[in-house]
Amino acid sequence: MIYLIFGYIYLMIHRPMEIWPGFEPMRPELVYFTILCAAWLIAWKRVMPDLNQLAIAGMGIVAYMSWMVSPWHDFGDVAVKNYTLVFVFGLILSTTLRDERAVHRVIVAFLAVMTLYMLHSVWEFRNGRHVYRMGIVRLVGIDQSLNDPNSFGASIVYALPFVRYLWFAWGPGGKRKLLIAYTLLSCGCIGLTGSRSSLLGLIVYLGLTVLLTSRKKFMWIGLAPLVALGGLMLLPSDLQTRFYTIIDPSVGPANAQESGQGRIMGFFIGLKLWQQNPVLGVGPGAWIPASRMPIESHSLYGQMLGELGTLGTIVFGVMIFAIARRLRTLFRNLRRDYDLPKQEPLFHLAQAIALSTVLLLVMGLFGHNLYRYNYVWYAAFTSVLVRSYRARPADEYAESWYPGWTGAWA
């Protein structure tokens, strides 16, 4: 079952059916997902549903309800179909992954696919595949679903906390060189996208990592401007100007300033749509026809209120609460069972999930990421980790299988 999950992660992220048109008539994702669901019904681990699983299912139910009553339901067909695959896959993860070892393997597979995704996108960028927007040439993803420069850059940012987790889990050795290369590739891709929101997300991630985990906070804070300046100087001059508009919008073109203002307006437009449709909103994928705006909301909170209404906002809040509650349980149990919990890989896995969730919510201030797979994955992961931790004693937990793990190596 785990290998079927790996295969679907590849289809979901790299999306070969959108790269090579010959695959599209064969509907490979739908066929593969049908096989995956059939295997799930056989391998499904019967467990009592917890709040995480109920929240995942609840998001799917609310999306369907909102879509069915929406006056613009024709515009939401693709959004609902895609989100069906997302939340059902989340349920598959939460009921078939057995323990933290299985979660670890999924994360390794995910980062491997992300590496392929970024390398393929950069290769095509060198061959001339790009978009020209905001006065600059911008790197895009190789697929069609999340290939927009902002979405592509955001996907990279959300994955970075798990690189840090693997750094601790794998321990000293050659694998760490792969993680360094992955990080450099990620930063280079973010720079080439020209996405200001992704750059801010990267800065937030680095800042949180330093403030929460480093003992040399002031040294890193002092070095941060020099590192940022050095990285900026490696970019072409037009991209340097693009990122400088974060500080001084006047140096960029007028449409770049309008883009920044549009992210603020997205929340207020969503609030207006919510007032008109308070219970279930206007429906998934109906933002543009309902708001009569030429672009999407660029605001998680405006999108949530406008498209899913009060009921969707409540269920989404329950899912975030469920993730936070499970993470709190993990941290509390690790502190109870270990003298040095920060030296345990599971601690860093929980911390990576927490950091990525915070990044989703922070970058939601200027990005519409409501239907991303990350939320349901983290709800599923935390459900599995807590259930697995409770199933056996903590002192028999970590040392047997983590690659490169040598115990208390700090």
Q: What is the pTM of this model?
A: 0.88
Of 74, 120, 348, 25, residue with least CA distance to 213? 348
- Neighbouring C-beta atoms of residue 329, cutoff 10 Å: 16
Report the distance separating Cα 206 and Cα 223, nearest Å.
12
Which residue do the tokens 């920060």 mark?
342
* pLDDT at position 409: 41
Question: What integer pLDDT is reported at residue 238 of this predicted model?
Answer: 54
Cβ neighbours of residue 259 closer than 8 Å, sequence gap 6 or more: 134
Q: Mind listing the pLDDT tens digit for each residue in 160-179?
A: 999 999 988 888 888 889 99
Beta pairing partners, 136: 133
| pLDDT value, residue 389 | 84
- Summarize pLDDT for 225-273 with one digit per residue, the tens: 555 555 555 556 655 555 555 554 554 555 544 555 556 788 889 899 9
pLDDT at 408: 44
Mean pLDDT by 10 residues, the chain (410 residues): 92 86 76 90 74 94 93 88 93 90 94 95 89 80 86 93 91 87 92 84 80 60 56 57 54 51 78 91 90 84 93 95 95 83 85 94 89 95 90 56 55
